[in-house]
Amino acid sequence: MTTNETKSGTLYVRNATGAIITDASGNGVQIVQQSGTTHTLSPLGSVTTFRCTPILELSNSVIVLSDATLNLGTETLRLAQVSCATSAVKTHAAFTGSAAFTRSGAIQTTTATATTIATLAVADNAGIWIEVNATGRDTASATRAWITRTALYQRQAAGAPVAVGTTAGTSILGGAWGAVSFAVSGNNVLVQVTGAAATTINWAAAIRSQTTSGNT
């Protein structure tokens, strides 16, 4: 250990280049000041999940930015704004592997080909309900689109995801383009959007899903 390093139980805390908290294997988190009062939290080692303490109270303007899954579990999180690519919340104790997810996606299209805006991994022996709300903007005109669509997929016995069914959805289209569809690739369900040929369209989507898995 260096002079900037302390040990508490199995955790090591180093402050030379920002607060770094790891175990003996180097798995943990790093908190770095970016500018002013802005800090980033980054996973170290094989960490893929951040779990909040039972009660986390921070100022109203705190934004949490993370590439890892934000796992709220059954704890209370007191934040006015939480911003991350994917958040998972499980508020019940049943069915291991089940959770509700909210994620966002964005893509730019220039053709009338279905393009993936989000990829959802489907666990084995699970069912997953997916709801998509996508908006598109033609960057060269006032044409806009809003499309919502839902689907139910299931995966069983190490097979690929299979569509149980999808809804026709609802669309508000300002032009002759705009669609949301689903496809399968490996063990994933792909959420896709379709624009128009020779047209630059910016897409953003909010995707909610609920997985039911496990046997207990």
pLDDT in tens, 147-194: 999 999 999 999 999 999 999 889 999 999 999 999 999 999 999 999
Residue 94 lies in a domain: no
Q: Which domain holds residue 66?
A: 5-89
- Look up residue 56 and give its two tokens: 């986390």
- Do 184 and 100 touch, CB atoms closer than 8 A? no
As for how many domains the chain has, the answer is 2
Residue 85 lies in a domain: yes
- On whether both 127 and 39 belong to a single domain, the answer is no
- Note the pTM of the prediction, 2 decimals: 0.64
- On whether both 77 and 107 belong to a single domain, the answer is no
Query: In terms of Cα–Cα distance, which of 151, 101, 153, 103 is closest to 127?
Result: 153
Mean pLDDT of the chain: 81
Range among 27-31, 61-65, 103-107, 134-138 rated most confident? 134-138
- On whether both 151 and 48 belong to a single domain, the answer is no
Name the residue with higher pLDDT: 1 or 158: 158
Burial class from Cβ neighbours inside 10 Å (0-12, 13-18, 19+) for residue 41 reads middle
- On whether both 84 and 104 belong to a single domain, the answer is no
Name the residue with higher pLDDT: 172 or 46: 172
Residue 178 lies in a domain: yes
E-strand spans in 110-200?
A: 115-121, 126-138, 144-155, 162-166, 170-173, 179-185, 188-194
Helix (H) or strand (E) holding 31: strand 28-35
- On whether both 138 and 165 belong to a single domain, the answer is yes
Where among 62, 89, 116 does a domain terminate?
Answer: 89
- Which tens digits make up the pLDDT trace of 187-215? 999 999 999 999 999 999 999 999 998 76
- On whether both 79 and 180 belong to a single domain, the answer is no
CATH of the domain at 137: 2.60.40
- On whether both 128 and 35 belong to a single domain, the answer is no
Name the residue with higher pLDDT: 19 or 14: 19
- On whether both 136 and 66 belong to a single domain, the answer is no
Please report which confidence band the pLDDT of residue 67 belongs to, taking 50, 70 and 90 as the band edges: very low
- On whether both 66 and 126 belong to a single domain, the answer is no
Residue 66, SS3?
Answer: coil
CA separation for the pair 207, 204 (Å, rounded): 10
Please report which confidence band the pLDDT of residue 85 belongs to, taking 50, 70 and 90 as the band edges: low
- On whether both 114 and 79 belong to a single domain, the answer is no
Residue 58 lies in a domain: yes
- On whether both 80 and 134 belong to a single domain, the answer is no
Helix (H) or strand (E) holding 201: strand 201-212
Pairing of strands 28-35, 19-22: antiparallel
CA separation for the pair 70, 191 (Å, rounded): 21
- On whether both 142 and 73 belong to a single domain, the answer is no
